[in-house]
Amino acid sequence: KQEVTQIPAALSVPEGENLVLNCSFTDSAIYNLQWFRQDPGKGLTSLLLIQSSQREQTSGRLNASLDKSSGRSTLYIAASQPGDSATYLCAVFNDYKLSFGAGTTVTVRA
Amino acid sequence: ETGVTQSPTHLIKTRGQQVTLRCSSQSGHNTVSWYQQALGQGPQFIFQYYREEENGRGNFPPRFSGLQFPNYSSELNVNALELDDSALYLCASSSVRTSGGYEQYFGPGTRLTVT
């Protein structure tokens, strides 16, 4: 059974600081890995998708890396802003489904 | 291009009742998956439908059932509601990428409260 862990569970940083969010998974036989953003009480917004054959993906201030062999992914958010405050979820795809971590709740202080 | 939509937004039911949640997939997507997200946790996979057939199921009892229609919209039905069924129910439709991976596009969710 795939287990996905996200550390830390919560993070508070001043505006402008870079954010580093970690994700680990136990079964390396994944098809892809997605990072999502979730605002309180809302649905999931896809941020980045990394295929299993890729090492990283970038979109604007966001960069995600994937090391499939060690079962790790890291999401970097550069120059954080108060609007980045949300819960960030990591999920891996295999066996027709996404398996999610519990998320990292980020607060960016103005 | 229309995104994934879900209805209703919020719902309050009493223990023992039955509920139906609805999802319209993103245009051009033929696969719909349902997830349950309890407060403070990550979403858990309930099941997936592909071309009107159940294509995979998570660790949920048979009182959780679903349908997919020819237009690829979907319903999630839950019978004999329990207090622990209170959660955010998320629907996701899938885009088959050229490389074979499946990017999931999520709807806004339905908040179900069971009292």
**What's the pLDDT tens digit per position in B55-113?**
889 999 999 999 999 988 999 999 999 999 999 999 999 876 544 567 888 999 999 99
Q: How far apart are CA B99 and CA A96, in angstroms?
A: 16
Using a CB-CB cut-off of 8 Å, the residues of chain A touching B49 are: none
Q: How far apart are CA A87 and CA A41, in angstroms?
A: 11
Q: Give Cβ neighbours of residue B98 (< 8 Å, ≥ 6 apart).
A: none
Using a CB-CB cut-off of 8 Å, the residues of chain A touching B59 are: none
8 A C-beta contact, residue A45 and residue A33:
no
- Whether B54 has a pLDDT exceeding 60, the answer reads yes
Asked if B108's CB is within 8 angstroms of A100's CB, the reply is: no
Cis (ω within 30 of 0) for the bond into B8?
Answer: yes
Q: What is the mean pLDDT of residues A56-70?
A: 96
Asked if B56's CB is within 8 angstroms of A95's CB, the reply is: yes
**Whole-number pLDDT of residue A94:** 86
